[in-house]
Amino acid sequence: MPDSSISKFFEKSRKERLDTVANFANLSNDDLSVLENDCGGILFEQADKMVENAIGTFSLPLGIATNFRINGKDYLIPMVIEEPSVIAAASKGAKIARIKGGFEVSADESYSIGQIQVLDVDVKSASEQINSSSKEILELANSKSNTLSKMNKGAKDVYCKELDTPSGKMLIVELLIDVGDAMGANVTNTMCESVAPLIEQITGGRVLLRILSNYSTRRMVKAKAVFEKESVGGEQVVDNVILAYEFADNDVYRAVTHNKGIMNGTIAVANAVGQDSRAIEAAANAYAASSGMYRSLSKWSKDENGNLVGILEIPLSVGIVGGIANVHPIAKICTKILGVSSAKELACVMTATGLAQNYSAIRALATEGIQKGHMRLHARNLASAAGANSEQIDEIVKKMIRDNNISLNKAKELLERS
């Protein structure tokens, strides 16, 4: 079985890193050529087909997080993010979790929720009519996707809810759709639009909106890991991490930053494999506020042996078929590096990465502070911004760290002296 615990991966040259990843994921020479191409994976001609009014492309760094063991399987995790320290932190968190077996993650089936807004009806009576016609509605919805129907997936249930708004009462008809390994937005929207005329006919009302909900509460993912007490830093550090979590869980200002750290991990993987990061973050933030107060997405405690235990549960709608994931060359290769065979497996990997990142961030905050490690990595960006070339950067970084002054002005000063 491939081993994701790679010693000093960060010290290897680019070629050595690529060779390591290629051997781990059985990448082809064509795959390596795409990764080695510094255009970011797509040419303008491709970008022009993806969005309107295209004028160019925009690249972000693609890195690899190591040490991950999830449900007994090793992964190298591709991450696309511009922020320094995130990939290193995720790798460090995974390394500590690995001591106790890694991450245990479970995911719901891939159910998407579609919503049809019905106006100008008696909600109670219309709901009864919808419920009695649910079989007909489901049959019509499923007729719009032969692929899902052949896989015994597709629309599975219809239910109703009442909203009391300033404009009056509304009936919301919801479709529950098993979308398999797709994110499911297109098929969900298609089914909602297809059944809208039938729902108008059944209820005598007027349908307005017909669209999926990105609040994917029927696609929950739960990750858990045990972090050995001694490796965390001892009993006092474990207790401090828990106190830091309790701060986040009870103060919205802290919770937002705490959850942003979780998303640093989860969204960096989403970016790498072509997922809808805006939908993922919107759903996670809604879930963080589901109790009526915006709180920590993760939970931290200790077990009977004093080890630190982290749990992260989030709604997560992802796919490995359809969408940009099957169009963008880099996204396709990153999915190949991950080696995931289902949307559920991808969701498990992304949630584990979020938990690993959260561990490293909250431990750093509870000990030395976040800036020490972050600013050391940020020093390279500052040296580059000051105008240093590739041969000068390492020396300037060493001197900034030596002088305990990591700033753009210091980088410029050192560059002028060199």
Active site residues: 83, 260, 276, 374
What torsion, rounded to 10 degrees, do the Cα atoms 41, 42, 47, 48 define? 180
Cα separation, 66 vs 9, in Å, equals: 8
The H helix count followed by the E strand count for the chain is: 17, 10
Both tokens of 283, joined, read 């759903």
Residues 152 and 154: their CA atoms lie apart, in Å, by: 7
3-state DSSP assignment of residue 231: helix
Whether 145 and 187 have beta carbons less than 8 Å apart is answered as yes
The DSSP element (H or E) to which 396 belongs, if any, is helix 390-402
Contact 247, 292 (CB under 8 A): no
Pull the structure tokens for residue 245.
Answer: 């979590």
Name which of 118, 80, 94 is nearest 353 in CA terms. Answer: 94
- Cα–Cα distance, 226 to 381 (Å, whole number): 34
Gap between the terminal Cα atoms of the chain = 48
Q: What is the DSSP letter of 297?
A: S
Report the DSSP pairing between strands 220-227 and 103-107: antiparallel
Interacting residues of 46 by C-beta distance below 8 A, sequence separation 6+ = 327
Question: 31-35: long-range contacts (C-beta < 8 A, 24 or more apart)?
Answer: 31/333, 31/336, 34/329, 34/330, 34/333, 35/62, 35/330, 35/333
Alpha-carbon distances, residue 106 vs 103, 282, 284, 333, 413 (angstroms):
10, 21, 17, 25, 52
Write the DSSP assignment of 312-349 as a string of letters: EEEE----SBSSGGGT-HHHHHHHHHHT--SHHHHHHH
What strands lie across the sheet with 298-302, from one edge to the other?
Answer: 73-80, 62-70, 103-107, 220-227, 308-315, 298-302
